[in-house]
Amino acid sequence: MLVSVSFSFAIFQIASTEVRTRLDRFQTTFQESIQIIPPGNRVNNFRAQELDKASENLSIELLYANLIVLVVGGFGSYYLARRTLYPIEKAHESQSRFTSDASHELRTPLAVMKAEIEVALRDKDPTISELKETLSSNLEEIDKLTRLSEMLLNLSRLEHAKLKMCPIDLNKAAQCIVKDFKLPPGRVAINGKKHQIVSANETALNDLIRILVDNALLYSPNDSKVHINISKHDDFAKFEITNQGSGIAAEKMPHIFDRFYRADTSRTNGEKKGYGLGLALAKNIVELHNGRISVTSELEKETTFTLLLPLNHRLQAKTKN
């Protein structure tokens, strides 16, 4: 609509200017010639010639104007279409990659279970202990599939979720989550200011803290200490969790929150390995709470995840009184 109005206005201006110029020239010439000879065929011929010239010039100008509109409009439409379709294209690529990665992760435990069952079936005289070992291994793989399915469902749920928010003390929430891990004394140390009240969904916030604590424990030696520091940073509650370990290489940092991305499986503590979904889920939760999450790391030293969540200022002020 805007292009059409602009184009019409341009045509009007061009036509008005051209006709006005030709009429002025005709009037001047007519006044000069009327003093010499009376008006007649000469005046009519002159007028017709001028009108023809005006029509010809106007046609050429409109042709150029249409060509300009066509070229500019074509390139503009192409640019806007590319710009509009780019997020859709990226989302489609991300969805395709997610489906492929999820299929791979689901196929691996199933392949292990199938192989173990086939071995057990080929054994013509299996012992009870061998059968128990096979069943125990299958149960472990089923647990892995269950955890993976739960994380996939959580990711899907959060993409379209409208979370119910309530005031939560970040320090108390962290203490409760750490307690649920049933760790040896001193394995995780929580420091910092108490009563950092945030507006959050309780279930989502607990999942977020659990993911960060589990990740810190997974990628640190059993005899090391994980530090959690809670403080106030401007209008945000700041949650920092630091663990010792091999760290994360700089080139891998931009991908650390991608789905199914694992910086290095050799960094894990023992045989336990993640699926690369936890931090992607954590990022989704943070974004739903209008917060920010970042990571810094020093190779062969430590890694720190920093979480910023908006404070609930009304309740925060009450806790100070």
DSSP labels for 215-254? Answer: HHHHTS-TTS-EEEEEEEETTEEEEEEEEESS---GGGGG
Q: Is 169 helix (H, G, I), strand (E, B) or coil?
A: strand
Helix-then-strand count for the chain, H and E: 7, 7
pTM: 0.62
Which residue, chain included where needed, has tokens 């995780």?
Answer: 188
Q: Positive or negative CA dihedral for 59, 62, 64, 66?
A: negative
Range in 33-47, 128-142, 294-308 the model is least confident about: 33-47
Residues written for the chain: 321
The strand pairing partners of 192, in sequence order, are 230
Each residue's pLDDT tens digit, 54-76? 667 767 776 777 778 778 878 88
Residue 93: band (very low, low, confident or very high) from pLDDT cuts 50, 70, 90: confident
What would the mean pLDDT of 226-230 be, rounded to a whole number?
A: 96
Residue 305 identity = F
The strand pairing partners of 228, in sequence order, are 190, 241
Each residue's pLDDT tens digit, 201-226? 998 999 999 999 999 998 899 899 99
CA 216 vs CA 223, 278, 308: distances in Å: 13, 12, 18
Residue 156 identity = S
The CA distance from 183 to 178, in Å, is 8
